[in-house]
Amino acid sequence: MINNPNSLTNTEIIDKTADYVKSELKEAEGGHDWYHIERVWKNAVFIAKEENQGDMLVIELAALLHDIADAKFHNGDESIGPRLAGVFMRSLELPEETVTHVIKIVENISFRKRHLNSTFNSVELQIVQDADRLDAIGAIGIARVFNFGGYMNRRLYEPIEFEGTEAINGNQVNRHTIGHFYDKLLLLSKMMNTETGRKIAKERHDFMETFLKQFYKEWEGLI
């Protein structure tokens, strides 16, 4: 239990955070809703226990708050999520070092940040990042990417623009959903931070490869 003025237990803190996130995301797109958060939360707890590392309160808070305001649904503004996370945690009067650590994780977790020269890193970030990336691959990842593609009214696939072997100009995700596998999903298994994340990612990566082979076969009308 952390020492805070309200004498909240860690369980109470997490319960209040989960309730807050459920309320905030009740109208969210299906791939970025409460159920996505819940899966990432469970993944993060599992990885942390397997790796026997990290501050569990920070890990759980970051997992719960990591997508409280995803930038792609807020005109690309990446400041909203960290700000909302900070406001909420301070309303619980959590220690400032905990608040700051979680905010840093929320700021640095996304795939979009991979090429930026951030100086922040922590075991907790690595665990929550792996947990989030695992939810982007495998069967759930496939379901999420097509759900989002439909939400954005994107084509399933356009063989004229994309041959299914390599990314073209890095922009195909804006044209059709299959392109996003090559932009992001098929890259994630090699970007895992933890041994536990890598083990889980391999099976999910292989499943996506199998799915794509079957997709192309059916697209071409092959029996």
Q: Is residue 152 part of a domain?
A: yes
- Kindly indicate the confidence band of residue 32, based on its pLDDT and cuts at 50, 70 and 90: confident
Q: Which residues does residue 176 pair with via DSSP β-bridges, in sequence order?
A: 155
Last residue of a domain, one of 43, 77, 111: 111
CATH number of 186's domain:
1.20.58.1910
Say whether pLDDT at 181 is over 90: yes
More confident position, 189 or 2 = 189
Q: How many domains, the chain?
A: 2
Average pLDDT over residues 119-143: 96
Length of the chain: 223
Q: Is the dihedral of CA 61, 80, 137, 144 positive or negative?
A: positive
Q: Are 131 and 40 in contact (CB under 8 A)?
A: yes
The predicted model gives 178-193 an average pLDDT of 94
Residue 62 located in a structural domain: yes
Expressed as residue numbers, the domain containing 146 is 136-223
Q: What does residue 155 show for φ and ψ, rounded to 5 degrees? A: -70, 155
- 69: domain CATH number? 1.10.472.50
Q: How confident is the model at residue 79 (pLDDT cuts 50, 70, 90)?
A: confident
